[in-house]
């Protein structure tokens, strides 16, 4: 059988989603070890995305195959009993064999959360990116609007990004403000390595007054990463959703992070 999983995790103490060399903690290997214990055979999971070191998720979707017969509670409650406190399975759902968490996803969604305050917060440590210089929210919103649509995002991807195609379609990039928190909410048909973090870095530079909002248009035109801004910290980034065709009938939960949900 094939099962889809909904996963949330706090990525501060992991080297990212993908399994690393032995002894290096990753989200994937931690979950695989627990599922393998419950299934009593080796389990490999495939995810909708691969988050970097220190990046979080509130709505990661993955899938795995098994010949083990276990009840719903055994998979879900059993896994959460063995998993560390900073990783949790939110749901498990049987799917057809043509489902694939990565290749069947039609869109992915991230949120980047900035704590804009003159003083840091111990309670938000690791959960947000702290930016102590005042940010002009309206300037950031204008700049963000230029990124919506189909563009070449060479200026917004990591130098080592291995994707052959730099073109992505950003469905929306909304900015909202809650007190000292600025939330970037972005959905696209796919993302390049460090794309969201580089976008956040550019928007913060514009919000701080280091560049005009039209700088975004220039970066899209030159298609050169060396002309872009600093890559923002991974601590404020959350993978919040993966979208699939409706025939798979996957469970839907409120978009996270959960501590931010009303």
Q: Which residues are designated catalytic?
A: 52
Distances (CA, A) of 90 to 46, 103, 114, 176, 249: 16, 21, 25, 26, 15
CA–CA distance, 250 with 198 (Å, rounded to integer): 31
Tokens standing for 121?
């917060």
- What residue spans of 9-149 are helical by DSSP H? 27-39, 72-82, 137-145
Give the 3-state secondary structure of 108-152: EEEEEEEEECCCCCCCCCCCCEEECCCCCHHHHHHHHHCCCEEEE
In order of 63, 190, 245, the CA distances from 101 in angstroms are 6, 13, 11
Nearest CA to 206 among 198, 197, 216? 216
Greatest Cα-to-Cα distance within the chain, rounded to the nearest angstrom: 59
User: Among candidates 30, 32, 92, which has minimal Cα distance to 61?
Assistant: 92
**Tokens 């691969």 sit at which residue?**
50
């Amino acid at each position: 059988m094939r099962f889809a999983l909904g996963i949330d995790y706090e990525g501060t103490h992991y080297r990212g989603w993908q399994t690393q060399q032995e002894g290096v903690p990753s989200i994937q290997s931690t979950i695989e070890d627990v599922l393998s214990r419950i299934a009593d055979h080796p389990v490999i999971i495939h995810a909708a995305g691969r988050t970097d070191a220190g990046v979080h998720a509130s709505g990661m979707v993955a899938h795995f195959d098994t010949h083990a017969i276990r009840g719903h509670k055994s998979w879900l409650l059993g896994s959460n009993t063995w998993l560390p406190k900073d990783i949790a399975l939110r749901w498990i759902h049987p799917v057809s064999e043509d489902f694939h968490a990565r290749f069947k996803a039609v869109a992915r969604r991230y949120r980047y959360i900035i704590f804009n305050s003159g003083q840091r917060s111990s309670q938000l440590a690791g959960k947000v990116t702290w930016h102590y210089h005042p940010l002009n929210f309206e300037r950031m919103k204008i700049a963000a609007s230029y990124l919506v649509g189909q563009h070449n995002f060479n200026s917004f991807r990591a130098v080592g990004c291995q994707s052959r195609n730099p073109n992505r379609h950003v469905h929306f990039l909304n900015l909202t403000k809650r007190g000292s928190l600025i939330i970037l909410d972005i959905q696209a048909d796919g993302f390049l390595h460090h794309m969201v973090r580089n976008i956040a870095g550019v928007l913060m530079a514009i919000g701080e007054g280091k560049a005009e909002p039209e700088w975004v248009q220039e970066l899209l035109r030159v298609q050169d990463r060396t002309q872009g801004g600093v890559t923002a910290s991974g601590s404020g980034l959350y993978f919040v959703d993966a979208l699939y065709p409706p025939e798979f009938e996957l469970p839907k939960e409120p978009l996270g992070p959960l501590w931010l949900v009303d």
